[in-house]
């Protein structure tokens, strides 16, 4: 694991001291009482039980058994050959694993193929914005979500962030592919594998003393609420930013984009009563489960520093463009989250990005001619493009696999 350099370590300590002094984020990861109504979900009804205390019983029992009986390596080897939605499951899988996966790979009855196709077209037409928001923006948000940062850090994948980025990118980019839910796409594959990984983490992390010391008394990680927090840090956040940036999005496209994320939540094992039926419902749930829990943690600060270093190396070998990397990251998530993540302020580049970003969007949307776009805007545009390429490149050759242990030393 890369270690924080002295400057970032001092910043990390300063950020935590400031938060501790203000009490604004204490306890880290706390959220309000669950009041969101299941009437606002795709199910339209439900028991209304707090998702904080709901996990994934079927997957959890299965994967605990797979780990405890020593079948992980065998299952992972076979699953490497399962790469497309329409592909039969590999022969040789244990019967209980096969039976679970056959059920888990089925789309919900309410999935609309026409909307999924429309979502694929929308993802293609808005891929620059969505890849930037779901890749870099979502990545920076994730490190400010205490439970997610700690689960990542203390899990096996936390010891190799390049590998972690690669595996996380698999599902994110699969959702945005033109063939996402078609037989030759791979969203279903990546979602089912991710669901199994979540179950493994729930089985393994409680054995980690390091995680247990920072879990706030929680015995099991990655509840249904935690998955929806992550969902909002991607889907809801992206739609909110598109609206803020005044990117033209028709009502039909907005509905289609929501639908692909609704289906994906179901495929990840989220109960339908927790999946928002509309963007208004998503905004309301996000305000309750995401916004209040954002906070700074030592794990999140270290993960952020590693991600920023990787991004800086991608945009410019040697890291000479690190100030631009910092500024663009701060622009994507805003000052509050950026400060939680310990992202340094870059006054020059932050002013430039704020000034030229609307012109970049107008140019991309063909609302203004190229000569009216300031030259520095293309520097920022190229940096954003390199960010996206970084995440796309990392997923090549990567596989989502069930872990057998937590992070070494945890």
What is the distance between the alpha carbons of residues 177 and 135, in angstroms, rounded to a whole number? Answer: 14
**8 Å CB contact between 84 and 78:** no
Closest CA to 340 of 6, 9, 14, 5: 14
Instruction: Tell me the longest C-alpha to C-alpha distance in the chain.
Output: 65
pLDDT at 24: 35
What is the distance between the alpha carbons of residues 2 and 377, in angstroms, rounded to a whole number? Answer: 32
Least confident of 120-129, 232-241, 400-409: 400-409
Ramachandran angles phi, psi of 105, nearest 5°: -85, -5
What is the distance between the alpha carbons of residues 320 and 115, in angstroms, rounded to a whole number? Answer: 44
Mean pLDDT (whole number) for 369-379: 72
Class of residue 404 by CB neighbours under 10 A (exposed 0-12, middle 13-18, buried 19+): middle
How confident is the model over 79-118, as pLDDT tens digits? 999 999 999 999 999 999 999 999 999 999 999 999 999 9
Q: Scanning the structure block, which residue is given the tokens 């872990």?
A: 403
At residue 255 the predicted structure's pLDDT band, cuts being 50, 70 and 90, is: very high
Q: Is the pLDDT of residue 370 over 80?
A: no
pLDDT at 10: 35
What is the distance between the alpha carbons of residues 331 and 140, in angstroms, rounded to a whole number? Answer: 11
pLDDT at 386: 74
Question: Residue 98 forms beta bridges with which residues?
Answer: none
Least confident of 145-149, 154-158, 291-295: 154-158
Mean pLDDT (whole number) for 67-76: 97
What is the distance between the alpha carbons of residues 369 and 199, in angstroms, rounded to a whole number? Answer: 51
Tokens of 78: 């076979």
Q: What 3-state class would DSSP assign to 208? A: coil
Q: What 3-state class would DSSP assign to 396? A: coil
Mean pLDDT (whole number) for 184-194: 95
Q: Is the pLDDT of residue 16 over 60?
A: no
Packing angle, helices 6-22 and 298-315, rounded to 10 = 140
Count of positions (residues) in the chain: 410
């Amino acid at each position: 694991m890369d270690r924080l350099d002295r400057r970032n370590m001092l910043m990390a300590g300063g950020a935590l001291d400031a938060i501790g002094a203000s009490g604004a984020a204490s306890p880290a990861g706390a959220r309000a009482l669950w009041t969101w109504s299941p009437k606002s979900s795709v199910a339209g009804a439900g028991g209304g039980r707090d998702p904080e205390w709901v996990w994934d019983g079927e997957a959890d029992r299965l994967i605990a058994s797979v780990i405890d009986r020593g079948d992980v390596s065998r299952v992972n080897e076979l699953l490497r050959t399962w790469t497309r939605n329409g592909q039969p499951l590999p022969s040789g899988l244990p019967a209980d694993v096969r039976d679970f996966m056959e059920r888990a790979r089925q789309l919900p009855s309410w999935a609309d193929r026409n909307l999924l196709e429309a979502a694929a077209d929308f993802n293609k037409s808005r891929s620059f914005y969505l890849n930037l928001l779901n890749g870099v923006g979502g990545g920076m948000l994730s490190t400010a979500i205490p439970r997610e940062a700690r689960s990542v850090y203390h899990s096996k994948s936390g010891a190799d962030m390049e590998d972690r980025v690669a595996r996380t990118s698999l599902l994110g980019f699969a959702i945005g592919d033109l063939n996402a839910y078609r037989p030759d796409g791979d969203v279903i594959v990546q979602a089912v594998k991710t669901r199994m990984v979540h179950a493994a983490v729930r089985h393994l992390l409680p054995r980690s003393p390091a995680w247990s010391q920072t879990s706030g008394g929680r015995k099991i990680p990655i509840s249904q609420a935690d998955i929806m927090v992550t969902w909002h840090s991607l889907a809801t956040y992206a739609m909110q930013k598109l609206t803020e940036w005044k990117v033209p999005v028709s009502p039909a496209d907005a509905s289609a984009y929501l639908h692909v994320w609704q289906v994906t939540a179901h495929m990840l094992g989220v109960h339908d009563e927790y999946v928002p039926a509309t963007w208004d419902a998503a905004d309301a749930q996000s305000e309750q489960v995401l916004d209040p829990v954002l906070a700074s943690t030592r794990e999140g600060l270290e993960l952020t520093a590693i991600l920023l270093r990787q991004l800086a190396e991608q945009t410019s070998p040697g890291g000479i463009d690190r100030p631009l990397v910092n500024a663009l990251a701060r622009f994507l998530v805003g000052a509050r989250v950026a400060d939680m993540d310990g992202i340094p302020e870059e006054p020059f580049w932050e002013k430039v990005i704020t000034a030229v970003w609307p012109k970049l969007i107008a140019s991309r949307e063909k609302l203004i001619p190229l000569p009216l776009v300031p030259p520095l805007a293309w520097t920022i545009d190229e940096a954003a493009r390199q960010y996206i390429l970084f995440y796309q490149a990392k997923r090549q050759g990567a596989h989502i696999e069930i872990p057998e242990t937590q992070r070494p030393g945890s």
